[in-house]
Amino acid sequence: MMTVGFIGLGSMGMPMACNLLARGFALRGFDVRRESVAALEVRGGRGADSAAAAAEGADALVLMVVNAAQAESVLFAQGALDRLPDGATVILMATCPPDAVAALAARVEAAGRRFVDAPVSGGTVGAVAGTLSIMAAAPAAVVERVRPVLAAMGDKVFHVGEAPGQGATVKTVNQLLCGVHIAVVAEAFSLAAKAGVDLAVLLEIMSGSAASSWMLKDRGPRMLEAEPGITSAVDIFVKDLGIVLEAGRGAKAALPLAAVAHQMFLSASGRGEGTMDDSQVIRSYHLLNGVTPG
C-alpha cells in the first residue's frame, strides 16, 4: 500500500484524508493549525510537525491548500519537494489558475518528481462521502500510478488531459458556469421584481422550463429570502471568478459574461456582504436598479 503525505487539513482536506485512512493508506498529515493535526491523529492518522516531515519518504503528496501561492511555498520554501523520494507524485487538488499549475508542474518535474493536476468539485458534502468529482490532468501513466489514491477521495475520476493545467482549466470552466448561472438568475429575478411579478410563481415556472439550471433550482429559492442560511459565501465566487478571469488572461481568451458576473459579486463584497450566502448577489442588482424586494 502506498504512503501518502497530506498537506492542508481544512473543511475539505480533513474528510479527504480520513477517506484515505479508511482505505488503508499509510497517511502522514500536516496543517499550519496544530489543532487540525491533532484532530487527524485522533482519527488514526500520523501527524507531522512540518510540510517537509509529511512529505518524507511518501509515494504521493496531496496538496489541499488554499491557493497556488501556498502550494508553491509548501513545495519549495518549506522544503517538502526535497524530502519527497525521486519518482514520487505531487497531487495538487486545490483550485488554482491553470498557468500557475502548469508552472508548478514544470518545476516539480524538473526536480525528478511526477505531478498530477487534480482539482475537485462536490464541496464538503462530497469530500465527506468520498463522492468528489476529480478532474485529473497528467500523462495517462502518471494518473494511473495514483488512481487508487484519487479513487479513495472521489467516485468520479476523469482524465481530462495530458498536460497539467488542463484539470485546472476544467475546474475553471465549472466555476465560470456556476458563477454566471447564479448571477443571471439574480439579474432575471430583479427585472421581474421591478415589474411586480411574484417571484415564487416565476421560480416555479422557470424551474420547469428550458430556462432552468442546477443553480436556478438551488440558489433561486434562497434569493427569495431576506436572510438565507449560508451554504456558500459571496466571497467564494469573488475568488473563483477571479481565478476564471486569470485563466482567461493566461489563455488570452476574452470572457465577457464571466467578467460582468464577477463585478456583481465583487460589489456585494464591497458592501461588506462577502460572508453572506452567494444567492445574495441579487442585492447588487436590486441596488443597481432601485428595486425594493417585496
Catalytic residue positions, numbered? 171
252 is a site residue for a second copy (CB under 8 A): yes
- Residue 166 CB, nearest distance to a second copy (Å)? 5
For strands 114-117 and 120-121, give the pairing: unpaired
CB of 128 or CB of 260, closer to a second copy: 260
Chain positions 143 to 162 lying near a second copy, rule: CB under 8 A, are: 156, 158-161
105 is a site residue for a second copy (CB under 8 A): no
Segment contacting a second copy (CB under 8 A): 33-41, 107-115, 142-150, 165-173?
Answer: 165-173
In sequence order, which residues have a C-beta less than 8 Å from that of residue 207 and are 6 or more positions away? 216, 217, 220
The amino acid that residue 55 corresponds to is: A
- Smallest CA-to-CA distance from 104 within 72, 81, 66, 78 is with 72
- Residue 237 CB, nearest distance to a second copy (Å)? 12
103 is a site residue for a second copy (CB under 8 A): no
Q: What are phi and psi of 136, to 5 degrees?
A: -95, 130
Task: Out of 43, 46, 107, 194, point to the residue binding a second copy (CB under 8 A).
Answer: 194
Chain positions 32 to 91 lying near a second copy, rule: CB under 8 A, are: none
178 is a site residue for a second copy (CB under 8 A): yes
Contact criterion met (CB below 8 Å) for 281 and 186: yes
- Binding residues with a second copy: total (CB under 8 A): 71
For strands 133-137 and 46-47, give the pairing: unpaired
Task: Out of 1, 77, 110, 195, point to the residue binding a second copy (CB under 8 A).
Answer: 195
Complete DSSP assignment for 77-128: IT-HHHHSPTT-EEEE-S---HHHHHHHHHHHHHTT-EEEE--EESHHHHHH
- Residue 56 CB, nearest distance to a second copy (Å)? 35
Task: Out of 2, 192, 230, 236, point to the residue binding a second copy (CB under 8 A).
Answer: 192
121 is a site residue for a second copy (CB under 8 A): yes
d(CA 149, CA 151): 6
Segment contacting a second copy (CB under 8 A): 4-12, 79-87, 103-111, 207-215?
Answer: 207-215
205 is a site residue for a second copy (CB under 8 A): yes
Cell numbers linked to 262? 464577477
Tell me how far the alpha carbon of residue 87 is from its chain's centroid: 27
